[in-house]
A and B are shown apart, each in its own frame.
Chain A
């Protein structure tokens, strides 16, 4: 399906109408989106800094035990993000900052998957306060930069994008 067709279909959907007919839905979704981003950036940022070699009094596996906070934040933001997208699809579908944001989320996702599948097992057997291998530090840095880029693209979307 072409993007335009999908946008038209979403715009005409009853879900879109439901969102737009209620004045409280959008502000509530925004509030939740900001709470979600705080949880995501806070917990992921701490874990990333640990991967980069800071906070070595905390083992990497212990720091990872805080990551459920990030997953909760991410889940909240996917759900509220879908509300925005369904509510005003034309505002995002043709907005380059939106697609940059999606791209950086993908980078963060692939990076996290790489850590889980290729590095997590190796990291688990490191000494608790060990200086992480260079690859692990790099994965931490990529994650930190990617999530800050996601935040930047999202917040700058109304100003740098081209759909308003």
Chain B
């Protein structure tokens, strides 16, 4: 396992990301990761707030196309996240906080998928809609917290 991680960390992409002084390397990848986070967590928050009763004049079904943007944002974060991981694979994979973050994202994705199905399906936010909205808010917030704390652990 440690050999695998070391070879990942020694790959050309990882070395470039970590060591290049180019503004297009680490700084830009990190910035794109933040843009993706804003898209994913931001759109989720908007949909969740609507499910919880804010802006009732907005038809829930009309929010459906937002999920296409959300999944593009997530794709951006998956790609930039993988690159950021390769650059620091040994350290990251030994950090509990990192695995907590990955676990929270996995759970948040399941919930977001459910929210998406609800938005695309019916128009009446029942108790299940509100529960999913709260779970989504809690999980994405927790993922942001874990991600931010990675800079400190």
Contact = CB atoms under 8 A, between A and B. Distances in A.
Interface string A7-43: 0000000000000000000010011001101111111
Nearest to B30: A155
Interface residues of A, number: 34
Contacts of A40: 42
Contact of B35 (A27, A63, A151): A151
B152 A159 contact: no
Q: Top 10 nearest A-B pairs by Cβ distance? A: A42-B42, A65-B55, A159-B27, A57-B62, A38-B41, A41-B38, A62-B57, A155-B31, A38-B42, A41-B42
B42 A65 contact: no
Nearest to A57: B62
Contacts of B54: 65-66, 68-69
Contacts of A69: 45-46, 49, 54
A62 B144 CA distance: 29
Central interface residue in A31, A65, A66, A160, by most chain B CB within 10 Å: A66
Given A30-B151, A62-B58, A65-B57, 10 more contacts: A37-B34, A38-B37, A41-B39, A42-B39, A43-B45, A45-B39, A63-B58, A69-B46, A155-B27, A155-B34
A35 B152 CA distance: 18
A27 B62 contact: no
A66 B50 contact: yes
B74 to A, nearest CB: 13
A129 to B, nearest CB: 10
Decide if the interface of chain A is mainly helix, strand, loop or mixed: helix
Contacts of A63: 55, 58
B38 A38 contact: yes
Q: Which interface class (under 10, 10 to 19, 20 to 34, 35 or more) fits B?
A: 35 or more
Decide if the interface of chain B is mainly helix, strand, loop or mixed: helix
A30 B37 CA distance: 14
Central interface residue in A34, A42, A57, A61, by most chain B CB within 10 Å: A42
A164 interface: no
Given A39-B42, A41-B42, A156 B58 contact: no
Given A69-B54, A156-B27, A46 B66 contact: yes
Contacts of B151: 27, 30
A65 B59 CA distance: 12
5 contacts: A38-B37, A38-B41, A54-B65, A58-B63, A66-B55
B148 interface: yes
A75 B44 CA distance: 19
Interface in B118-153: 140-141, 144-145, 147-149, 151-152
